[in-house]
Homo-oligomer: A and B are copies of this chain.
């Protein structure tokens, strides 16, 4: 199952998920060949980042919005990026946050688990209810795919809906988490986690510990590190013996070269260094606990 593969990769390479939220503003001038198309520029940038990190990170998260923004050429760069990651033996999480009625969800499942845009794991939005998750489960079972479902996101607005008190005095994200845990139990890997995981980040420390204990069978995709403010000692609370989650950083890694005068010449080195520093930061945070 995909979750066993991811668990193994985390064990060997640490918890850093490199977020490929790639836009032209992030690409150094020397990679902006005037004759190249947007498609090639975005893909070549991603290729450089992947080549510089693939032996030290367990997976990549590709945020589809950044590619949709460049239209058909962007979608072509998206396709090439997913293929490159998968062909080189790593795992790709497609951050698509889709959520729709059953007949439409079937089409999204086909879109992102087959064909041009095939990925290993996708993110989903649960607002439309649990029947909007069902069409993907066949792929989890038969094609070794995985789902990370939005539970508690790392943005300020997360409080607007996810923190509402429901059923008397329970946080909505806990209520949703409990339901997802039930579904997750049907798709357990040998590693003790399910191929149905959750997107969880940005809570206070006590809440992080509570949610980690409560959803003990769910692997977490943890956003909010770096540019969004999270530290290694914070995110460690979402992990269990250093596994059970990957921590995403996008700008903090892929624009790391911008902080150095010789950043353009040593692009690959600085990208790799940023990923290694983050890996160490999370690992130290886990040891303190």
What's the nearest-Cβ distance from chain B to residue A66, in Å? 5
A157–B172 contact, CB under 8 A?
no
Chain B residue nearest in CB terms to A133: B157
A155–B129 contact, CB under 8 A?
yes
A129–B111 contact, CB under 8 A?
no
Range of interface residues on chain A?
35 or more
* Set of chain B residues within 8 Å of A172, measured between Cβ atoms: 161, 164, 166, 172
Of residues 47 through 96 on chain A, the ones whose CB sits less than 8 Å from some CB of chain B are: 63, 65-66, 68-72, 74-76, 79
A247 to B104, CA, bound (A): 18
What's the nearest-Cβ distance from chain B to residue A253, in Å? 15
A66–B128 contact, CB under 8 A?
no
Q: Is A101 an interface residue (CB 8 A)?
A: yes
0 or 1 for each of A1-37: is its CB under 8 Å from B? (1 = yes): 0000000000000000000010100000000000000
What's the nearest-Cβ distance from chain B to residue A155, in Å? 4
A157–B175 contact, CB under 8 A?
no
Q: Which of A112-120, A139-147, A234-242, A254-262 sits within the interface? A: A112-120
B176–A157 contact, CB under 8 A?
no
A residues whose Cβ falls under 8 Å from a Cβ of B: 21, 23, 63, 65-66, 68-72, 74-76, 79, 97-105, 107-108, 110-112, 115-117, 125-132, 150, 153-162, 164-167, 172, 175-176, 179, 223
Nearest 7 pairs between A and B by C-beta? A129-B157, A71-B116, A131-B157, A129-B160, A68-B111, A65-B107, A127-B127
